Amino acid sequence: MSDADEGRAPVTGVGTEGRGNGVAGVGGVAGPAPGEHGVASVETHPEADRPNGDGSARNALLVVHTGREATRRVASEAARRLAEAGFALRILPDEYSTDEGLFDDLPPAQRPRTVSPDSDAALGMEIVLVLGGDGTLLRAAELARHARVPMLGVNLGRVGFLAEADIDDLDEVLDAVVARTYRVEERMTVDVVAHQNGTELGRTWALNEVIVEKMNWARLLDVVLEVDARPVSEFACDGVLVATPTGSTAYAFSAGGPVVWPEVQAMLLVPSNAHALFARPLVVSPESSVALEVSNRGDAGVLVCDGRRTIELPPGSRVEVVRGRAPVLLARLRVQPFTDRLVRKFGLPVQGWRGRRP
């Protein structure tokens, strides 16, 4: 289920450049070609060895899940430490408007200043520090992706697959930000365009998944699935997901899709409650083009990306999905096997394992 702080955004038609994670959300590193967007590689942050020798301020954007006392304390400690290290801190106006007590315990000079809440909010930032759950990280991704700035998440939610650290690791996180000792992973995204009879309905993108789902919950949605300009199948269903490796442990996992290791370059096609004999999850190349057509004989549907950006789909609409042009950058403090993260986050039983420990 999505992190409680992030609800589905109103229908906007066209998404900005940036569904909360279902059961979780971690996954693949991908891009147009190996070496360009990386293939599950971990790279040193480009500014890691370049201190600000001119005395200029370093900039960071804080994205906070407000309204919790624990979050308020963590946010104040992070702001204090970074301000003392010479950071100029910024925050979105909504954070203050939804939590009037946020940063009240800090002197005015250490309180983050608000920045315009548009897609350029993270431009000029060195890092986006996210305090919350996976839903908060997906909200921050809308800003960080557009600015090509890495995000570093501290999990204050439940599972928190996308977050790099838990609240107990806050000191380590802040030390790494100040010293620039974190690494950066590139995460595959998908670009999406919807149109009907030659008229564009909107275009957006997703880090976790694209969902074409029914609007009328009393009826099924008739969908035709296409891969690489060839028809695959038509069926009635609750919806169809196109997920990235990052989203393979999110909504796609809940719908019966496979868990995809980060090193695998792929897109997942996962029907949700399809009324058909052939409705198994499919794994296709990241270079494939995927299309989902809403039958003109049935009801309307809706396109949902990461649970945040939505486009209404009248009967006869067509949604096309390809690998995204721009990845999302995630800061990592340490290199760890994806297997360990999976076992820890899901609490998988491994007591009987007799293999060799590192």
The answer to whether residue 330 sits within a structural domain is no
Residue with tokens 């897109």: 267
Say whether both 136 and 195 belong to one domain: no
For residue 55, the model assigns a pLDDT of 55
Note whether 350 and 273 are within 8 A (CB). no
What is the per-residue pLDDT for 181? 96
Q: How confident is the model at residue 39 (pLDDT cuts 50, 70, 90)?
A: very low
Same domain for 196 and 314:
yes
Both 195 and 299 in a single domain? Answer: yes
Same domain, 120 and 225: no
Give the CATH number, domain containing residue 205.
2.60.200.30
Residue with the bigger pLDDT between 327 and 13: it is: 327
pLDDT at 9: 43
The reported pLDDT for the residue numbered 24 is 35
Shared domain for 175 and 58, answered yes or no, is yes
**CB contact set of 272 (below 8 Å; sequence gap of 6+):** 211, 213, 237, 238, 239, 240, 241, 255
* Residue 329 belongs to a domain: no
**CB 283 within 8 Å of CB 259:** no
pLDDT, residue 100, reads: 74
Tell me if 22 is assigned to some domain. Answer: no
> Please, what sign has the CA dihedral across residues 282, 331, 167, 140?
negative
- Does a structural domain hold residue 356? no
The helix or strand, by DSSP H or E, that contains position 135, with its residue range, turns out to be: helix 134-147
Q: pLDDT confidence of 71, banded at 50, 70, 90? A: confident
pLDDT of residue 358: 67
Is 211 found in the same domain as 167? no
Encoded tokens for 144: 């960080």
Q: Domain ends where: 161, 181, 201?
A: 181
- CATH number, domain of 146, equals 3.40.50.10330
Q: Does residue 209 have a known ligand-binding role? A: yes
In a domain? residue 349: no
Same domain, 144 and 211: no
Residues annotated as part of the active site: 134
295 is in an annotated binding site: no
Contact 285, 270 (CB under 8 A): no
Least confident of 40-54, 74-88, 197-211: 40-54
Is 107 buried (19+), middle (13-18) or exposed (0-12) by CB count in 10 A?
A: exposed
Q: Is 167 left (phi over 0), alpha (psi -120 to 50) or beta?
A: alpha
Within-domain flag for 2: no
75 and 160 both lie in a single domain? yes
* Range(s) of the domain holding residue 129: 46-181
Structure confidence by residue, pLDDT tens digits, 96-130: 877 777 898 899 989 999 998 888 999 999 999 99
On whether 96 is known to bind a ligand per the annotation, the reply is no
Same-domain status, 224 and 134: no
- Last residue of one domain, picked from the residues 133, 161, 181: 181
pLDDT at 28: 33
Q: Under DSSP, is residue 34 helix (H, G, I), strand (E, B) or coil? A: coil
What letter would DSSP give residue 275?
Answer: B
Could you report the per-residue pLDDT of 238-278, keeping only the tens digit for each? 999 999 999 999 999 999 999 998 779 899 999 999 998 88
> In this structure, are 207 and 160 located in the same domain?
no
Number of structural domains found in the chain: 2
**Angle (CA) 130 132 137, round 5°:** 55
Q: Confirm or deny that 254 is annotated as ligand binding.
A: yes
356 known member of a binding site: no
Q: Is 248 annotated as a binding residue?
A: no
Report if residue 30 sits inside a domain: no
SS3 of 262, please? Answer: coil
How large is the angle between the packed helices 69-84 and 170-179, nearest 10 degrees? Answer: 30
Return the pLDDT at 8: 45
238 in a known ligand binding site: yes
Tokens linked to 70 = 């624990």
- Cβ-proximal residues to 328 (8 Å cutoff; 6+ apart), any chain: 141, 144, 145, 151, 186, 187, 189, 207, 246
Q: 57 is written with which tokens?
A: 């301020």
Q: Domain for residue 348, yes or no?
A: no
Q: Tell me which range, 127-131, 158-162, 336-340, 343-347, is most confidently predicted by mean pLDDT.
A: 127-131
pTM of the entire predicted model? 0.83
Do 211 and 90 lie in a common domain? no
Instruction: From 181, 202, 231, give the residue that closes a domain.
Output: 181
My answer on whether 171 and 194 are in the same domain is: no
Q: What is the pLDDT of residue 54?
A: 53
